[in-house]
Amino acid sequence: MNKKVLVFGGGTGLSNLLQGLKEFPIDITAVITVSDSGKSTGKLRQEFHVPAVGDIRKVITSLASIDEPMKKMLEYRFNTTSDLDGHALGNLILISLLDVTGSLKESIAHLSKLLSIRHQVLPLSENPNITLMAQMSDDTIVEGEAAITKYPATIRRLFYKEEPQVLEEVLQAISEADLIILSMGSLYTSVLPHLLAKSVIQALDKSTAPLMYLCNIVTQPGETDHFAVSDHINLLNQYLGNHKLDVVIASNSSIDPLLVRKYATEEQKDPVKIDYPVLAKNDVELIEADLLTIDHDLLRHHSQRLSTLIFSYLMR
């Protein structure tokens, strides 16, 4: 029987991870944050009164057993002067299925079956009103993920406007998991939203599965400026309950100084350093490796190497 791996996340980071992880003999449950309020997803939430579907679309595309033209079709964004402008086709398909089935969970299941996905994809909640809130460093309360990421101050505290009703299937997946992963990606908008739900924290506290964090390669402006690996761990542990992180995987790759300078100048992002002396004092196992890959000057985790490390840890 395959081991069960539960992954919390959203966005490009989780999609990149799953492209490699799906190749291993494990059963994956990917739980996706649904509080995004920007771009195509934000427009669809307002018009159809639904949870965010954009990150779900990305994950479904990464797990799908279909050829590249079909994947590109799901990710296709309309560039037009009509109301379709900016919308991803996959988002529209999910919205249409939601209208037919009345359930986001069921819509994902139907689309997964159509695309020959053998793993489980779940939204954290089906609540259409789920709204991310933040108290900023100047004490301003900002509502909505899109507004939070644009606000010109750092985040002091993250919370939901109303406590979300987490899917029972998510809580069941936590209880059955052999390994629970917090994916790389935007710490405040892709990872932490899962840990804001009280029922998730309660389920994690009861779980005996190791809790693993996949550390980002670079910092994120306005969110994790000047963060080292230990800072990411400390922030996550602040939001976790009694079950803190057990293990962190971090990249020790050397990065071309020209690329480092380009990231710092154009995107205000810096490499996340492994601060060994501080980590040695933490009760967290560090697994490090050369995990960097460069795609058109974009720094990314090498999905296959990262997934191999995860599988090796799971099977030891």
Domains and CATH numbers, the chain: 3-33+164-315 (3.40.50.10680), 37-121 (no CATH)
For residue 122, the model assigns a pLDDT of 98
132 φ, ψ (degrees, to nearest 5): -80, 135
The helix (run of H) or strand (run of E) holding residue 141 is: strand 141-143
| pLDDT (tens place) for every residue of the chain, 316 residues total | 899 999 999 988 999 999 999 999 999 999 999 998 878 888 889 899 999 999 999 999 999 988 899 999 999 999 999 988 989 999 999 999 999 999 999 999 999 999 999 999 999 999 999 999 999 999 999 999 889 988 999 899 999 999 999 999 999 999 999 999 999 999 999 999 999 999 999 999 999 999 999 999 999 988 899 999 999 999 999 999 999 999 999 999 999 999 999 999 999 999 999 999 999 999 999 999 999 999 888 899 999 999 999 999 999 9
- How many CA atoms, within 13 angstroms, populate the side-chain half-sphere of residue 86? 8
Q: What is the pTM of this model?
A: 0.95
Secondary structure element (H or E) that encloses residue 306, with its range? helix 303-315
d(CA 38, CA 149): 10
Distance in angstroms (rounded) separating the CA atoms of residues 122 and 241: 22
- Residue 209: what pLDDT? 98
